[in-house]
Structure 1
Amino acid sequence: MSHAEPLVRFSGVQKTYDGVQLVVRSLNLDIQRGEFLSLLGPSGSGKTTTLMMLAGFESPTAGDILLDGAPITSTPPHKRNFGMVFQNYALFPHLSVGQNVAYPLTVRKVSKDDQAKRVAKALDMVRLVGMADRLPSQLSGGQQQRVALARALVFNPQLVLMDEPLGALDKQLREHMQIELKELHQQLGVTFVYVTHDQSEALTMSDRVAVFNEGVIQQLADVSSLYETPSNRFVAGFVGDSTVLVGKLEIRAGSAALVLPDGQRLAGVNVNAAADGARAEACVRPERIVLHPASSAPAGQVLRATVSRAIYHGDHLRLMCDVGAGQSLATVRLALSSVGASALPQPGDAVGLEFPPGSTRIYTAPALH
C-alpha cells in the first residue's frame, strides 16, 4: 500500500435522521496520517455528526468510510481502536484516576503489569504524576480533562477523536490546554480529529481545518490559507474578522472592482468569478487596511472615514470607523508599536482607509432573505 494513501477516507457519505433533511451531504474527505485536523463550523453544520460516524456511534445513510483502505462502516465502535475525548469528560466517578485511565486496557485484557506501566506513562504524558489514586471529584476541570485525554491515549490508538473537549473550561485554561494538546500531538505523531465551533481554537491547533456549513465542507485548507484566502463568503465571515463593504461588481478588461453606492471603486480579487453587475461584498482583514491621517491620505483605494470607537487591546487598537454610504463599520487593527501615543486616533477623527487590492476579496453577496 502506498504511504500516500490517507488513514481515513469519507467517500460520498450522507447522513439523514428523518429521511428528508441531509445533516451531512455527499462528504468526500481524506484524513492524512499524523495530522491534526479540525472540523469547524456553527451548530448544526454537520461536524459532530461526521465525527460520530467516524467513531461508529452513527451509521452513514449512504457512502463509505475507509480506514487504511478498508471499509469500517459496519465495524462497531469498540473494534475501531480510536481514542475518544468528549466535552463532559465521561469519567467513571467511582473509579480512581488510575482505574479510569486503565479502563480501555482492562477491556482489551492487557496484563496488570503492562497496565501499570502504560497508565504511569499516560499520566506522565498529561502531567498528572502522583494523581493515580484520586477520584475525579477531587480534581479540577482541567485535570479531569487531562485524565480523559490520558484514557484516550493509553492504548496507542490509531486515531484520537475529540468533540469540543475544552468547551467547559475557562478562557485562560482553555488557551493553555490548546498549546499542551498541540505539543502532545507533535510528540506522539498520532492522528487527531478535533470538532470545535471556536475558530481561534481551530487556527491555534490545527494542521488543516475543514469548515462546515449546512452539511457541506465549504473549504479544507491549512490555517494560513483559510485565513488569508477564504474560498467563499461564508468562510470569510466565519473564520476571523473582516470588514465587509457592499456594492456592485464591475469587471473592466478582466480586472474586478467593487463599486460602492456613492460611486467609489475598490479594485480586488473576484474570488468566485461573479458576473459583471452582480450584487457583491468585499471582505478585508482588519490588519490589512492601512490607516492614513485624512490630510495626507493618498488617492486611489482610499475611503474617507470617521473613527467611531477605539478599543484598547494591549498591543493594538481596534478602530471602528464609519465609512458612510450605508455600510457597516469598518474594523481596523492598528499595532501600537507603529504609532506614538500622541498620534493615536481618537473618536471623531477624520481618517483615510486604504484597501490594498490584493487583500480585497470580492464575493457574490449572500441572497437576501
Structure 2
Amino acid sequence: MPNISPTEPLVRFTGVQKTYDGQQLVVRDLNLDIQRGEFLSLLGPSGSGKTTTLMMLAGFESPTAGDIFLDGRQITRTPPHKRNFGMVFQNYALFPHMTVAQNVAYPLTVRKVLAADRDTKVKRALEMVQMGGMGNRYPAQMSGGQQQRVALARALVFDPQLVLMDEPLGALDKQLREHMQIELKELHRQLGLTFVYVTHDQSEALTMSDRVAVFNDGAIQQIDVVTELYETPANRFVANFVGDNTIFNGAVTTTNQHKCEVRLPCGTLLYGLNVNGVNTGTAVQACVRPERIVVHTVDAKPCDNSIRAVLNDVIYFGDHLRLRCTLQEQAQATVKIPLSSIAVPQPGQALWLHLPPEHLRVYR
C-alpha cells in the first residue's frame, strides 16, 4: 500500500448531501477523506449513491448541502475543467472522427499546450497503457479493451491530480476485465496517483483497491482496507454484499461482552461474535464465509458450534468445490472446500458443518 498521510487527505467531503427532487436524498451526510496516492473504490448496488458521489467530485453534479475540499481548498462550485482531474467512463467517450493520438491529445489541446510538448506527452501516455505505435488508428478499428486503454491514456496525459473512473471495465468480457484489473493496479503502483473508482462488482473492488467504501441507501456503510472489509464486515449489508456468505437465522439467548449465543429454530446453539451489540431475545443472522466452514462426516463426533446438514450437490468451480447443503428450518447453506480435499462427500450424505466461533459474526 502507498505511503499515505492519515492527517492530510487530498480530498475531503464534509456533510455532503444530494437530492434531485428536494425530498429523497441520493447522498446523505457524506463525510469522506480520500488520501494521497491511494486507490479508493466506491462500491455498492445501483442507486446507492456511489456514482453521484463521483460526479460531485468531478464537478458534473453540485451538492445540495455540504462542501468538498481539494488540498484544503474548497472546490464545491468549481467547474469540472478547472479541477485538473482525469475521467474515464464506461462507454469510453472517444471521438470517432479523431485518431487515437488526437483523442489522447484533446485535453492538452483545450489547455493550449504547445504542439511539441503535446506530441511528447501523447507518446508517453500511450506507452503507459501499452498502446505505443497505434496513434494513427481510429476508435472503430480497435477492440473494446484497446478503446478503454485509449480512454485511460487520455485521462493520464495531462498529469492530473486525481483520476476518476466510472465503471470503466463494465463493458469488457470477463477475461479481459480481469486482465485490465491487474494492469490498472500495476499502473497505479507505478504512477503513485490517486485513483477513485466506482464499481458494483465486489470482486473487482477487492482485487484493485487499497481501501473500499461500501455504499447503500446514500450512505457509506463501511470504509476499510480490503482484508478488513472482507473478514470483519461492520453490518449485515456489508457482510452480504462483499463476498459470499452463509447465513443462519436465530435469536440471541445469552451475551458475554463481544460474544453471544444464538439459538436456531431447530434448537441448535451457536456461539459467535456479537458485532452490533444486540441484546438477549433479538432476532439475528449468524453469518460465516463459506470457506471458513469445516465439514465432518456424520459418524464423526461433532465439534462444538456444529450443525447437522444433508449434502444436495457438489459444484465444480475450477479452483474449489462448492457444497450446497440442506439444513433443518434454514435456507440452503453453501460451503467451499479446496480441490485437494481427500474425501469429497457425495450427494445425499449427512454431514456436520463446524462454524468456528471466531469467524461466525452475528448481526441484528
For Structure 1 versus Structure 2, the TM-score category normalised by the shorter chain is: over 0.9
In the alignment, which residue of structure 2 is the partner of 1:195?
Answer: 198
Find 1:165's aligned residue among 152, 165, 168.
168
After TM superposition, the structure 1 = structure 2 runs for residues 139-150 of structure 1, keeping only pairs within 5 Å, are: 139-150=142-153
Is residue 335 of structure 2 the alignment partner of residue 295 of structure 1? no
Deviation at 1:188, TM superposition (A): 0.2
Amino acid at match of 2:291: E
The CA deviation at 1:74 is 1.2
Match of 1:107 in 2: 110
- Give the aligned partner of residue 347 of structure 1: 347
1:295 is paired with a residue whose SS is: coil
SS of structure 1 residue aligned to 2:88: strand
Aligned CA distance change for structure 1 residues 266 and 121 (closer, same or farther; 3 Å): same
**Does the residue aligned with 1:124 lie in a helix, a strand or coil?**
helix
* 1:187 alignment partner, SS class: helix
Other structure's SS at 2:299 match: helix
- The answer on 1:80 being equivalent to 2:80 is no
* Corresponding residue of 2:15: 12
Distance 1:70 1:137 in 2: 41
Rounded Cα–Cα distance in structure 1 between residues aligned with 2:241 and 2:303: 32
Seen in structure 2, the aligned counterparts of structure 1 residues 146 and 297 have a Cα distance that, compared at 3 Å, is: farther
* 1:9-40 deviation digits (Å, cap 9, x = unpaired): 00000000000000000000000000000000
Change (3 A) 1:173 1:297: farther
| Among 238, 248, 252, the residue aligned to 1:249 | 252
Q: Is 1:70 equivalent to 2:94 in the alignment?
A: no
What aligned pairs does 1:33-48 form with structure 2 within 5 A after superposition?
33-48=36-51
Equivalent in the alignment of 1:56: 59
Query: 1:30 and 2:8 equivalent?
Result: no
* Correspondence 1:306-325 to 2 at 5 A: 306-324=310-328
Q: Does 1:182 align with 2:179?
A: no
Once the two structures are TM-superposed, the CA of residue 133 in structure 1 deviates from its matched residue by: 0.3
Secondary structure (helix, strand or coil) at the match of 1:143 reads helix
* Closer, same or farther: CA 25–109 of 1 in aligned 2, 3 Å: same
Give CA-to-partner distance per residue, 1:36-81, whole Å, 9 cap, x none.
0000000000000000000000000000000000100111000000
Distance 1:312 1:196 in 2: 27
Runs of 5+ in structure 2 lacking a partner? Answer: none
Q: Which amino acid aligns with 1:312?
A: Y
- State the Cα distance separating 1:3 from its structure 2 match: 8.1
Partner Cα separation in structure 2 for residue 16 and residue 119 of structure 1: 39
Contact 2:86 2:164 in 1 (8 A): yes
Cα distance between partner residues in 2 of 1:259 and 1:320: 22
Which letter maps to 1:149? L
Aligned twin of 2:363? 363
| Aligned counterpart for 1:259 among listed residues 258, 263, 274 | 263
Matched, 1:128 2:131: yes
Q: How far has the Cα of 1:4 moved from its partner?
A: 3.1
Q: Report the Cα distance in structure 2 between the residues aligned to 1:270 and 1:113, rounded to whole angstroms.
A: 63
Instruction: Tell me, in whole angstroms, the C-alpha distance in 2 between the residues paired with 1:175 and 1:253.
Output: 44
Moved more, 355-364 or 251-260: 251-260
1:283 is aligned to 287
Superimposed CA distance per residue, residues 168-206 of structure 1 (whole angstroms, 9 cap, x where no aligned partner): 000000000000000000000000000000000000000
CA offset digits 1:228-266 (Å, max 9, x no partner): 000000000000011000000122444401110121110
- Partners of 1:55 and 1:156 lie apart in 2 by 16
Decide whether aligned partners of structure 1 residues 252 and 20 sit closer, same or farther in structure 2, where only a CA change above 3 A counts.
Answer: closer
TM-score (normalised: structure 2): 0.97
In structure 2, what is the Cα distance between the partners aligned to 1:313 and 1:74? 49
Structure 2 distance, partners of 1:231, 1:270, is: 11
2:94 is the counterpart of 1:91: yes
Q: Which moved more, 1:257-266 or 1:93-102?
A: 257-266
In the alignment, the residues of structure 2 paired with residue 305 and residue 3 of structure 1 have an alpha-carbon distance, to the nearest angstrom, of: 47
**CA–CA distance in structure 2, aligned partners of residues 141 and 208 of structure 1:** 28
User: 274-283 vs 248-257, which deviates more?
Assistant: 248-257
The range that moved more, 132-141 or 254-263, is 254-263
Per the TM alignment, residue 298 of structure 1 is displaced from its structure 2 partner at its CA by: 2.5
Q: Let me know the Cα RMSD of the aligned residues.
A: 1.0
Cα deviation per residue 1:134-177 (whole Å; 9 max; x = unaligned)?
A: 00000000000000000000000000000000000000000000
Q: Secondary structure at the match of 2:126?
A: helix
Counterpart residue identity of residue 360, structure 1: L
Aligned AA (1:349): Q
**In the alignment, what sits opposite 1:367?**
none
Pairwise CA distance, 1:293: 1.0
Query: Structure 2: how far apart are the matches of 1:156 and 1:202?
Result: 24
Q: Does 1:21 align with 2:24?
A: yes
Q: What's 1:232 paired with? A: 235
- State the distance in 1 between where 2:104 and 2:134 align: 11
AA in 1 matched with 2:200: H
The aligned amino acid for 1:359 is H
TM-score when normalising by structure 1: 0.96
Aligned to 2:339: 336
